[in-house]
Amino acid sequence: MFKNGDILNSSVFGSIEIQERIASGGQGTVYKINTSGQQYALKWYNKLWSTPDQYARISKLVEVGAPKDPPDVDARFAWPIDIVGTSDDPEKGFGYIMPLVPGNFETNGYLIAQRIRNPFVLCEMSRQLTEAFRALHISGFCYQDISEKNIKVEPNTGDISILDNDNVVVDKTAATQIGTPSFIAPEVVRQENYPCSASDLHSLAVLLFHFWMWHHPFHGRLEFDTICKSPESDLALYGTPVFIFDPLDKSNEVPVNEDGYRNLPARWQGCPEALKKLFVRSFTSGLKDPNERVNAGEWLSAFRNLRDSIMLCSSEKCSKDPTPFLVDLEKEGDIGCHKCGTAIQSRPLKLTIRSGTRHTEIPILPSTRVTSNHISKSIQTTTDKDAQLIGFVDRTNDESKRWILRNASGSAWTLKTSSGKTAVVPGGKACVISPGIEIRMESAVASISK
């Protein structure tokens, strides 16, 4: 509709200049725009979508703004900032201005093609995505159409950007979008319910499965045997879905001898046990009962624990470019680098932190840090850089080079040994890392075990 160089007016930005068309879709066209030397994006609706109802919805989103708790979470949404035009003349249409997603952000299809293996990146992109939708739901909204096409990721850092936020509506209200069949919840596919925060949780689990497994959780034998994709086949596959790794129902197992499926069993075997448990729950009992779905807080705890379980390979084979890998204490057998195959010499000890009803377990590694996020009684969404450092793993300076846990907080710890003896560990001091030790850190109790 617009040409490069066309000028429009915004109540927030004043004069804006169309620079180039970025994309077009069923709702309209997205342009890159310039205003006072700053670049943004403009989504302009076509005649069909230029309705008073849509205008009112976008106006509401502009008014309330993107979720802001925790700090910086709003940066993950390409959220409407201002409306340009009016709904008075559908022939002319209207649009909204939003942040421009940087060019180095990629789609999930790119991530699958590149086979992102770095656990730091996987944990960060999963954490940011989950945290963003948790913030959205707490704000009283639902997204309706969480899918791979609405997310972009920076593949080197794991930073995410959520697109198409004009999908967002007040939770548990009439839907304006039904969503992508392969991602929406079964009850929505069967048209028994509108999209809501509970159905968002299903869609989130499907997308997280894509991140970690590079595949769809319901694309097994049943999908492979589908000759022609149709509304009827979508209803069968996604309205009454069967998880490809369902421990009881084997009707949709992976056809391991077919291209595109061969590596899935090995990939599933390598998936962290904590995630496997959450995926199984999401795609078995969670399919039948929305109340059984994994909530965002559970996902966040899992991804934080996994991030704390990453270590760098120290073998000579990886010396030039140390490979990060997950130390999964729930798995049996050797633990080691997936790239060079070198196993660590001994299984790390485990640090279990209990605070209120929260229970966190992480391996004790050279890089282990205990922060205020670990010892809080509630699920914290504070970023690592903003969290207070409580303690960290260190080594003694003597010949023994014993591993120690150093108190980095301003409060003294109370230590209790396996024999029942107690001691005080002031700030700046340390205790030897040994099985059977319990340490009270403010309101939390941390224990060390094999």
Q: For position 205, what pLDDT does the model report?
A: 98
> What was the pLDDT predicted at 376?
87
pLDDT, tens only, 205-245: 999 999 999 999 999 999 999 988 898 999 999 999 999 99
CATH number of 348-449: 2.60.200.20
- CB-side exposure of 431: number of CA atoms within 13 Å? 26
Highest mean pLDDT among 110-124, 282-296, 349-363, 399-413: 282-296
| Six-digit token string for 409 | 């907080």
**Pair 66, 128: CB distance under 8 Å:** no
Residue written as tokens 């198409």? 164
The mean pLDDT of the chain is 91
Distance CA 106, CA 161 (A): 10
Burial class (CB in 10 A: 0-12, 13-18, 19+), 356: exposed
Listed in sequence order, the residues at least 6 apart from 137 whose beta carbon sits closer than 8 Å to its beta carbon are 171, 197, 200, 296
Between vectors from CA 10 to CA 9 and to CA 13, what angle results, nearest 5°? 115
Comparing C-alpha atoms, which of 431, 434, 433 is closest to residue 414?
431
Integer Rg of the chain from CA: 25
pLDDT tens column, 5-45? 999 999 999 999 999 999 998 889 999 999 999 999 999 99
How would residue 340 be classed by pLDDT, with cut points 50, 70 and 90? confident
| Of 425 and 331, the one with more pLDDT | 425
Give the residue range(s) of CATH 2.60.200.20 domains in the chain: 348-449
Dihedral pair phi/psi, residue 35, rounded to 5°: -145, 115
Identify any residues that bridge with 44 across adjacent strands, giving them in sequence order.
Answer: 29, 95
Structural contact between residues 413 and 407, judged by C-beta atoms closer than 8 angstroms: yes
Distance (Å, rounded) from C-alpha 172 to C-alpha 91?
Answer: 32
How many residues would you count in the chain? 450
User: pLDDT tens across 379-407, in order?
Assistant: 765 566 678 999 999 998 888 889 999 99
Residue 409 pLDDT > 90: yes
Angstrom distance (rounded) from CA 258 to CA 189 = 28
- Farthest CA pair distance, the chain: 81
- The pLDDT score that the predictor gives to residue 90 is 72
Domain 7-99 is in which class?
Answer: alpha beta
If you average pLDDT over residues 347-354, what whole number do you get? 93
Q: Please, are residues 130 and 303 in contact by the beta-carbon 8 Å criterion? A: yes
For the chain, residues classed under CATH 3.30.200.20 are 7-99
Q: Note the helical H segments in 139-234.
A: 186-189, 197-213, 221-224, 231-234
Q: What is the arithmetic mean of pLDDT over 79-90?
A: 88
Predicted confidence (pLDDT) per residue in 279-332, tens digit: 999 999 999 999 999 999 999 999 999 999 998 888 888 878 888 888 988 888
pLDDT per residue over 171-206, tens digit each? 877 666 677 899 999 999 999 998 999 999 999 999
How far apart CA 63 and CA 57 sit, in angstroms, is 10
Q: Are 226 and 216 in contact (CB under 8 A)?
A: no
Q: Does domain 106-302 have CATH number 3.40.47.10?
A: no
In this prediction, residues 120-129 reach a mean pLDDT of 94
- Helix (H) or strand (E) holding 265, with range, is helix 264-270
Q: Does residue 434 carry a pLDDT above 80? A: yes
- Alpha-carbon gap, residue 103 to 154, rounded angstroms: 9
CA 160 to chain centre: 9
Query: Do β-strands 430-432 and 403-407 pair in parallel, antiparallel, or remain unpaired?
Result: antiparallel
Give the pLDDT band (50/70/90) at residue 86.
confident
Cα separation, 234 vs 180, whole angstroms: 10
Any idea which residue has 């007040």 for tokens?
170
Across 113-122, 295-304, 368-377, the highest mean pLDDT is recorded for: 295-304
The Cα–Cα gap between 67 and 79 comes to 9
